[in-house]
Chain A
Amino acid sequence: VHDLQPDPLFLEPGLDWHKVSPRLITERRIPVVVLALVAVAALVIGVVGQANGTVSSWPFVLAAGVLAVVALVLWLVLVPRMALSWRYAEREQDLVVRRGRIMRRLTVVPYGRMQVIQVRSNPVAHRLGIATVTLVTASADTDAHIPGLPVDVAQALRDRLAAKGEALTAGL
């Protein structure tokens, strides 16, 4: 279900494309929980308000319903699809990152242009044992990050990237 179609631009055939951990879905579902809580709160306010006779309940119930549907769609469909759309491939000279289903994106970062390689995880990701590897170049437009990597994979990737970057700039 979650496999991507081959594509000459965004999923070049013949490359060794790596997936990210499915645990990324869990991380990305956290904001959806917040949304669901807001829906519940709206429902509670509506019902209690109706009982008190202070407000009429239907706008709140309607809002809660809409939020609940949005949260459900996000939870079941969109978040898993988006989270599993990440792929990356290490080529000889550069790192390729692709992502997105609706809006597809591809970034090619030459190892020689990497300035900083960051491995970060927020508290949720930390509990799940996953991390995000971010490549920083001199350009603010470069958007090369790979979330949802198991921590050991992320560290190994960081070390490989750092070694390649060093090798490519060693000839200075």
Chain B
Amino acid sequence: MTVAGTSGPGASGEQGLEPAALERAAATRMRRLHPLTPFLRSWRLVGGLSAVGLSLFREDLNRLVWVWHALHGDFEISLLARAAAITAGVAVVIVFGAWLSWRVTGFAIVDEPAGSGTLLFHRGILAKQRNQVRLVRVQSVDVNQPLVPRLLGLAAVRLDMAAGHDASVNLAYLPLAEASSLREEILRRGAGVTTGDEVPRVGGPAAVGGSDSSDGSGGSGRGDGSDGSGGGDGSGGRDGPGGPDERAAATSAREELIAQVSTEQVIKSNLLDGISGWVVLALWIVGLVVATILMGRAAFFAALSGIIPVTIAILAQLRRQVRSMMRDADFKLLRTPTGVRISSGMTSTVNRTIDFDRIQGVRLVEPFWWRRFGWARVKLDIAGGEDDFNKGASLIPVASRADAVALIVAVTGADLDSPRYVGVPRSARWVDPIGWRFQAVALVGGGALSRSGRWRRSTAYVPYARVQSVSARQGLVQRRLGLATVFLDLPKGSMRWRAEHRTVLDAAALVGELGVQARLHRLAARSAPGSSPGRPALGSGAGSAAV
């Protein structure tokens, strides 16, 4: 991605300035990142150079122990001198390289006569990279703090563009206060609010109908039907609220906390979720011990060979759990004018701004042990979310089921407890003996619902407007039973929606109906961006979801 002289996303804006003019304007106000940035961004480089330095000693590596001896007076002066010289040399190279890279890296926000401003981001020593980001095109601005920068009081400002991961710009690292104020400024400009004496930007079509504030969320003068007018995939632009009275309110100050989960709750619920794994592990160990006592050592080795795969599976689960715990710790869900913002993380704080229009699917997950307590988790599929950053994002890591369902209604307009679920015929028990009773699908206003899972119940919702194609599949056994499985193929970053083991006639009807609905909703989304049907206000109605 380090192509010389590239111009970044949104560069060729119809109302943008000439590149040369931008450069001139930028040169006057170029701002630098924090001087420690090169070290933090390229710790691999630093590590690599150190390794190179060390490898020069490969011959003498065992003699490096002599440093110890040297401290006791038994030293070989030439070796120490070499070590010192090489260390110093590497340090100089690193510091010089870092300084050089810091010197050529900078960013600036440049005003445009007709637009809301452009962010320029320059970097690269050999391959120069120049990104121009028109702030109107910015989908979300997040302030993130990975562990080490967090300890140093630094933060990264990440701008997500409609075009997805490749197009995002990461301004790393800035002092936290500066990062926050930069985020504010970008949001303000992106939403069409300009500072000072500039001409205010004329709002887009989304500006109409902003009088609906029946959500009772406290003075939001903005119609939620017009939330995030970015429209279909890649159509991109985010039109800010347009009326003068609304514009003033469109800053991040309007974010409102709608749900919060404490770290303790996240950890507790995650442990409970994984309890089956722990029970299995304990049983294995007990079985191993018993078998050893009863049948001697041969049985021990036989059982050991069996326990290794189980242990690996358990460790994988543990790792996944720890990661999700770390990610969801200290979880806060905030409402923004066009979507939600999630702030969470134990060692590193991650902010995730998600416009409603980027939500491609929602899943309500109810692990077996959670259902005793009536808990549930809501997962999100986000457009352009192929990267780790967005993958498997939780809308809420744990909440009471009612709150979780209400939250999904608020975000997508879909009622997961729709009475329209239709199950599968009894013959499906031959292909799915455990779960067949719990397989069900329902077609609701804006999308399709699919429910499954005997123990771990999962309900997936997909808006019709996101459907790329409809597929069906029938294996040999299914054919004997007169069953087939229907799929909805979704954009990258989403789980495939599936309706397992429908009767062939049912499946045929489903394929036809899903195709028609997908087309109608796609057309509706295109002709009237942002006015996708059935999306009520996300207000305090969702309640503060607490376990």
Q: Would you call A103 and B476 a contact (CB within 8 A)?
A: yes
- Of residues 8 through 42 on chain A, the ones whose CB sits less than 8 Å from some CB of chain B are 8-10, 12
Q: Is the CB of A141 within 8 A of B471?
A: yes
Interfacial residues of chain B within 513-545, with CB under 8 A of chain A in the complex: 515, 518-519, 522-523, 526-527
Q: Which residues in window 92-118 of A have CB below 8 A to B? A: 93-94, 102-110, 112-113
A171 within 8 A of B: yes
Q: Give the residue name and chain of the A residue nearest to B479 (CB).
A: A104
> Interface code B489-531, partner A: CB below 8 Å = 1, 0 otherwise?
1111010100000001101100100010011001100110000
Given known A103-B474, A105-B473, contact A172–B526 (CB-CB < 8 A): yes
Given known A103-B475, A109-B469, A112-B519, contact A142–B489 (CB-CB < 8 A):
yes
Q: Which residue of A lies closest to B471 (CB)?
A: A107
- Closest Cβ neighbor of A9 among chain B residues: B508
Q: Is B382 an interface residue (CB 8 A)?
A: no
- Residues of chain B contacted by A139 (CB below 8 angstroms): 468-469, 489-492, 494
A77 within 8 A of B: no
Interface contact B487-A141, CB-CB below 8 Å: yes
Q: Could you tell me the distance in whole angstroms from the C-beta of A39 to the nearest C-beta in chain B?
A: 27
Please determine whether A9 and B518 come into contact, CB atoms closer than 8 angstroms.
no
A108 to B523, CA, bound (A): 17
Within 8 A of A (CB), among B445-482: 467-476, 479
Chain A neighbourhood of B471, CB < 8 A: 105-108, 141-143
Known interface pairs A103-B476, A141-B496. Does A108 touch B487 (Cβ–Cβ under 8 Å)?
A: no
A144 touches B469 (CB 8 A): yes
Residues of A contacting B162 with CB < 8 Å? none
Roughly how many angstroms separate A9 CA and B471 CA in the complex, as a whole number?
10
Whether the pair B473, A103 counts as a contact (CB closer than 8 A) is yes
Tell me if A56 counts as interface (CB < 8 A to partner B). no
B111 close to A (CB within 8 Å): no
* Chain B residues closer than 8 Å to A76, beta-carbon distance: none
Of B469, B490, B515, most A-chain CB atoms within 10 Å: B469
Asked, given contacts A8-B504, A9-B474, A9-B484, whether A137 binds B515 with beta carbons under 8 Å apart, the answer is no
- B468 and A142 contacting across the interface, CB-CB below 8 Å: yes
Q: Decide if A142 touches B469 in the complex (CB within 8 Å).
A: yes
Report how far A107 CA is from B496 CA in the complex, Å: 14
User: A137 touching B475 by the CB < 8 A rule?
Assistant: no
Closest CB-CB distance, A110 to chain B, in whole Å? 6
Q: Complex Cα distance A102/B470, Å?
A: 20
Q: Cα distance A172–B231 when bound, in Å?
A: 11
Determine the chain B residues whose CB is within 8 A of the CB of A1 once the complex forms: none
CA distance A8 to B508 in the complex (A): 6
Given contacts A10-B474, A138-B468, contact A110 B522 (CB under 8 A): yes
Does B112 count as interface, using CB distance less than 8 angstroms? no
Chain B CB within 8 A of A3 CB: no
With A8-B508, A172-B526 as contacts: A137 and B519 at CB distance below 8 Å: no
What mask results when residues 123 to 165 of chain A are scored 1 for a CB within 8 Å of chain B, else 0? 0000000000000011111111000000000000000000000
**Can you sample 27 A-B contacts with CB below 8 Å?**
A8-B504, A8-B508, A9-B484, A9-B505, A10-B474, A10-B484, A12-B508, A93-B519, A103-B474, A107-B469, A109-B468, A110-B469, A110-B522, A112-B522, A112-B523, A137-B468, A137-B489, A138-B468, A138-B491, A139-B468, A139-B491, A139-B492, A141-B468, A141-B490, A142-B469, A142-B471, A144-B469
The chain A residues found within 8 Å of chain B, CB to CB, are 7-10, 12, 93-94, 102-110, 112-113, 137-144, 171-172
Q: Which residues of B contact A (CB under 8 A)?
A: 233, 467-476, 479, 484, 487, 489-492, 494, 496, 504-505, 507-508, 511, 515, 518-519, 522-523, 526-527
**Given A9-B505, A108-B471, 15 other A-B contacts at CB below 8 A?**
A7-B504, A8-B505, A8-B508, A9-B472, A104-B474, A105-B472, A106-B511, A108-B470, A112-B522, A137-B468, A137-B489, A139-B469, A141-B468, A141-B469, A141-B490
